[in-house]
Structure 1
């Protein structure tokens, strides 16, 4: 079977699952014209948008989702409150969640408004709702979350709800991250 690697710009409101018993929209509704069965690599929750890789290369999928390989994932975060330098520093050092401490993260403040902060965070784990839980651990909540990058693979100008095949070079670089 020919290996297929897709990059999807997942919209908010879509589930990262094949079928939903409640009939809600899933990422598979966006894969018109894809004639091979591909699986999502990791998950983005319903309220998170952005870069999602789908592939039938189970070996690559396993390596990208295995925490031992530490594949970096970058997100744009809009926090529901204005965050202090100390709060962002806590994220950088790692915070303690119910399922244990997180690894240190790379955090860059992008801008603030009167009562919100916008920042970029890169994590090397993929726990369930991890970025949201990390932000809650420092006393705020996430009002918008967009995954923009895995390794050096970026969402670029791909329209929301659209997908494209990865180039051979992108696949090679993705494998090189591991």
Structure 2
């Protein structure tokens, strides 16, 4: 044995250098050497980073177990797929595999064109581009037929009113008219504003007899519920005439919330529209639907309402519609209304 040979055995053929922990430590390049000796085990004994992840040798105590856990954790996460992106607001969740074709129905592109989505050709291009869903299913075939009376269609996440049996009417209710479709006492009511109709219409919200302005009538029960329920946040805008001048902190107080006998109420926005000596016209926006809520809010702050008009409900504006008159909503307005209600 050469005097310079290291104690504990040499690196002869098949000798398995370092069999008892002796011998020189093999040189390790960047990332650690993990090649086994010919016919033997990998170089490096207990505490070696060979074969482990980069930087494993830095663990206190030289244990290789921590590196093993990290590697296992990485392998476990290999099978985890990212969560799918949530659907756009208003679009129903996609339910893969459902058959939306109705052999007795109407071609989808014709239904969309009649609903005002565009020309027949434009609607065909929308379908081919995957922009149209029926009952939550993406439809790309032009031969699909649907039943407009029971199926729901969205284009780019916006719902289209495709059922011609559904009616949407805006009414400017005058003072002195009750917000019902029938009155036992024979008083003027909303049915008198639209005349005899075959459909059973629902009124969206109420206005007291002394309040005038916008009321919607429809036979769409789902939309009616969503427009009236405060959890859907559909805003209503009122103009109120009060005695002036109006104190500066009135808007701040209303936005912070006013405690009424049936609980606190906060307005979404408030502004003074016009102000003259002894007179002020203010705008109140809120999504509450409690009885006389605007009148009670302003009176609680010392401003009894002299005149009150509802000018807007969601995206629908009263505009120049005269008291006692009505008009059918356009297809675009119905689409906007459904979007505001999250349909």
TM-score by length of 2: 0.50
Residue 104 of structure 1: how far off its partner (Å): 3.4
Larger radius of gyration: 2
Count of residue correspondences: 178
Point out 4+ residue stretches in structure 1 off by more than 6 angstroms: none
* 5+ residue gaps, structure 1: none
Listed as ranges, the matches of 1:71-82 within 5 Å are 71-82=234-245
CA contact (8 A) 1:103 1:124 kept: no
Residue 170 of structure 1: how far off its partner (Å): 0.5
2:166 alignment partner in structure 1: 3
Higher strand share: 1
Residue 22 of structure 1: how far off its partner (Å): 2.2
Residue 46 of structure 1: how far off its partner (Å): 0.5
Listed as ranges, the matches of 1:36-47 within 5 Å are 36-47=199-210
* CA distances 1:128-153 after superposition (whole Å, capped 9, x unpaired): 11100100110121111100111121
2:248 paired with 1:85: yes
1:110 to 273, 290, 305: 273
2:342 paired with 1:176: no
Residue 25 of structure 1: how far off its partner (Å): 1.1
* Secondary structure class of the residue paired with 2:192: helix
CA contact (8 A) 1:17 1:26 kept: yes
Larger RCO, structures 1/2 (Cα 8 Å, 6+ apart)? 1
2:242 paired with 1:94: no
2:190 paired with 1:27: yes
2:230 alignment partner in structure 1: 67
TM-score by length of 1: 0.94
Mean Cα displacement is larger for which, 71-80 or 96-105?
A: 96-105
* CA distances 1:10-51 after superposition (whole Å, capped 9, x unpaired): 111100012222222111111125432211011011111111
Q: CA RMSD in A?
A: 1.4
* 5+ residue gaps, structure 2: 1-148, 150-164
Q: Work out the CA distance in 2 between the residues paired with 1:139 and 1:60.
A: 36
2:212 alignment partner in structure 1: 49
2:311 to 129, 148, 166: 148
